[in-house]
Structures are given as C-alpha cells and as structure tokens.
C-alpha cells in the first residue's frame, strides 16, 4: 500500500548491484505511475522515464521542449509508487554543464537511480531520426564532468549517451564513448545501433555497462532479450513500447466507439475494474481505512 517500501538510496544500490551482476536488465518505459506499477508486477528489472514519452504525454514532439521540472515531476510521481530502480532520460542536461549538474541533483532528489545525458546539440531530436547534430566531444566531456561531480550519492548512475553512430559512424561513436567513460560516465548508451554487429563492436570497445535501445520504428533491428544478453548488453530499454501499445488501442477504441455508438464490444480488450484495483492495491487501502476508523485507543 502507498507502494514504495524502499528508499531511493536502497534502489540506487540495487541498480548498481544489478549492473555488476551478470545478465540483462530490462527497463520498459512507463507511460505514467500506473504503468510503472504494472511493469513492477510483470517482473521487470527497472523502469525507464523516456523523454519521448514525457513529451508525447504533454502533446509535444521530442525536440527538447520539456523542462527539467516536468521531467523531474514525472520521475518523482513514478519513483513514489515502485520499488524498482528508475532510469531517467535527461536529454542534453537541460542547459550548459552547470545546468547538467543541477539536473543530476534534482533527479537524485526525485528518487531516480540514474540518468542519461546525450551528446546532441539543441534542438535535440529522437536518436533514430535523420538530421541530428552533435556537440563537440569536449563539450560533452564538460557536461559529464559536471554531472559526476554534482551527485551526492555515488550510487547514482551517470550514463553517457552517444548519438554519433548515425552521424559520424561507429568508430567515431566508440571514440566518443571512451572519452565519456574517461570523464567519469558509469554506463554508455550506444544510440541507434543498426544490429548485432554494431553492438558487438561497441561491447568489445568499452569496459563499463552498455545500454541498448529497442525502440520501434527506428534504425535498430529489434533483438530479443536473449540475443542482447548473449551480446553482452547490460541494460535494454523499451522506451515507447507501452505508450505505443496503449495509444494504438486508444485509436482503435475511439474508432469503434464513434462507429458503433457503444463501447460494449470493446470490453474484452480493456483492463477490468478488478485488474485495475489489483494493481492499485485497492483492498489494502480499504482495510487500512477500516482499521483506522474502527481503532479504539
């Protein structure tokens, strides 16, 4: 009930332990706190807060329009209801290196286990779209140095994302990743890998945990968890999967409701009242309330 039974520091330590252990950590992107509850119930290893999802949720494209407060607010709502570690997409850090330092502290205070910062120029865009522009690697190194120095909990994971593979080629992206690790990044997010061969080369070139993005309708071949694990990947994110599934169902449902004038034919595709209340632990709240109401000192 009320859901979080662990501290943020405990969840950060657990995330570190998960990264140090063999095997792949699977982090679906939570469209909202309810989705995070469902991710936990379904047995996943962590929750991802996707910039694309936060933007889309606000009716905005993912081009760096969201603010740190919006992302941190969503992060806090999510970390409050799950015992899983939460990894946050911090885009380009919301400003210059000093702002990236503040971003890390604000996200720590939001209960996150870590965040990733990317080497795109603003306005940034989805890593799988054409037309990305990169910052010089030295700028990104400054951002990472500031981010790493700002954290107060050494377990907070600072992950460096490089978007260079699709712009400057794989070799350049590996060079960048190495420089980012030298600057203190704990993990590397190799964005928009085409397939297993790219991942294999990246894996062999860096000696910190590697994060791979299995986003749909992008540049990357969708690989199974087993294949990713066999390639030595440590973390996989499915950033927009749940939002796409839910919104696909919403579009179908709206069409059917408009055409048929009733939602009666859609019931078997819905989360039932019972299933929803299960996720929310409704009975425990009712029992708690009753025990308080019936309490006799």
Ligand X SMILES: C[C@](O)(C(=O)O)[C@H](CC(=O)O)C(=O)O
- Active-site residues, by number, are 48, 62, 89, 91, 116, 118, 126, 161, 191, 213
67: how many CB neighbours lie within 10 A of its CB? Answer: 10
Count of residues near ligand X by CB under 6 A: 14
Our finding on whether 198 is near Mg ion (CB under 5 A) is no
Query: What does the alpha-carbon distance between residue 232 and residue 253 come to, in Å, rounded to a whole number?
Result: 40
Confirm or reject binding of residue 240 to ligand X (CB under 6 A). yes
Closest Cα partner for 114 from 90, 135, 142?
90
First to last CA, the chain: 23
Contact region with ligand X (CB under 6 A), list: 50-58, 78-86, 276-284, 286-294: 50-58
Distance CA 23, CA 209 (A): 11
> Nearest approach, Cβ of 30 to ligand X (angstroms)?
11
Please report the DSSP string for 124-161 in residue order. P--TTSS---BPPHHHHHHHHHHHHHH-SSTTSEEEEE
Query: For residues 101-140, which are near ligand X according to CB under 6 A?
Result: 126-128
Q: In whole angstroms, what separates CA 17 from the centre of its chain?
A: 18
Binding characters for ligand X, 193-222, by CB under 6 A (x = yes): --------------------x-x--x----
**Least distance between Mg ion and beta carbon 51 (Å):** 3
Token representation of residue 31: 């469209």
240 torsion bin: left (phi>0), alpha (psi -120 to 50), beta (else): alpha
Q: Is 117 exposed, middle or buried (0-12, 13-18, 19+ CB in 10 A)?
A: buried
Tell me the window of 1-9, 10-18, 88-96, 104-112 that interacts with Mg ion (CB under 5 A): 88-96
The option from Mg ion, ligand X, none interacting with 90 (CB < 5 to 8 A, set by class) reads: none
Question: Nearest to Mg ion by Cβ — which residue?
Answer: 51
Of residues 17 through 76, those in contact with Mg ion by CB under 5 A are: 51
DSSP state of 267: G
DSSP tag of 202: H
Cβ at position 95, least distance to Mg ion in Å: 16
Phi then psi for residue 187, to 5 deg, are -150, 155
Q: If binding is defined by CB under 6 A, does position 52 make contact with ligand X?
A: yes
In sequence order, the 6+-apart residues with CB closer than 8 A to the CB of 234 are: 19, 24, 25, 187, 209, 210, 211
Selected from 30, 55, 64, 89, the binder of Mg ion by CB under 5 A is 89
26 binds ligand X (CB under 6 A): no
Q: Which is nearer to Mg ion, 89 or 163 (CB)?
A: 89
The stretch near ligand X (CB under 6 A) out of 20-28, 48-56, 148-156, 282-290 is: 48-56
Residue 127 site contact among ligand X, Mg ion, none (CB < 5 to 8 Å, cut-off depends on kind): ligand X
Q: Is 31 in the site for ligand X (CB under 6 A)?
A: no
Residues that bind ligand X (CB under 6 A): 29, 50-52, 62, 89, 126-128, 213, 215, 218, 239-240
Residues that bind Mg ion (CB under 5 A): 51, 89
């Amino acid at each position: 009930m009320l859901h979080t039974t662990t501290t943020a520091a405990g969840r950060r330590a657990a995330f570190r332990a998960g990264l140090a252990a063999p095997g792949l950590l699977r982090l679906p992107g939570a469209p909202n706190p309810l989705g995070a509850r469902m991710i936990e119930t379904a047995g996943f290893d962590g929750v991802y807060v996707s910039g694309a999802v936060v933007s889309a949720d606000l009716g905005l494209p993912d081009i760096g329009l969201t603010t740190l407060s919006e992302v941190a607010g969503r992060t806090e709502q999510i970390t409050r209801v799950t015992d899983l570690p939460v990894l946050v997409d911090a885009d380009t850090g919301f400003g210059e290196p000093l702002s990236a330092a503040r971003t890390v502290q604000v996200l720590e205070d939001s209960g996150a286990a870590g965040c990733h910062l990317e080497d795109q120029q603003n306005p940034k865009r989805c890593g799988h779209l054409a037309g990305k522009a990169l910052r010089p690697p030295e700028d990104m190194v400054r951002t990472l140095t500031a981010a790493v120095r700002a954290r107060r909990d050494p377990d907070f994971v600072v992950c460096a994302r490089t978007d260079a593979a699709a712009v400057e080629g794989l070799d350049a992206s590996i060079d960048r990743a190495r420089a980012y690790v030298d600057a203190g990044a704990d993990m590397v997010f190799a964005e928009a890998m085409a397939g297993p061969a790219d991942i294999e080369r990246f894996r062999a070139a860096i000696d910190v945990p590697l994060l791979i993005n299995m986003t749909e309708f992008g540049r990357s071949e969708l690989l199974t968890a087993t294949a990713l694990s066999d390639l030595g990947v440590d973390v996989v994110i499915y950033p927009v999967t749940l939002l796409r599934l839910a919104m696909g169902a919403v579009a179908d449902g709206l069409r059917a409701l408009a055409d048929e004038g009733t939602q009666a034919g859609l019931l078997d595709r819905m989360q039932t009242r019972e299933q929803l209340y299960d996720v929310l632990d409704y009975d425990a709240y009712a029992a708690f309330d009753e025990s308080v109401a019936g309490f006799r000192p």
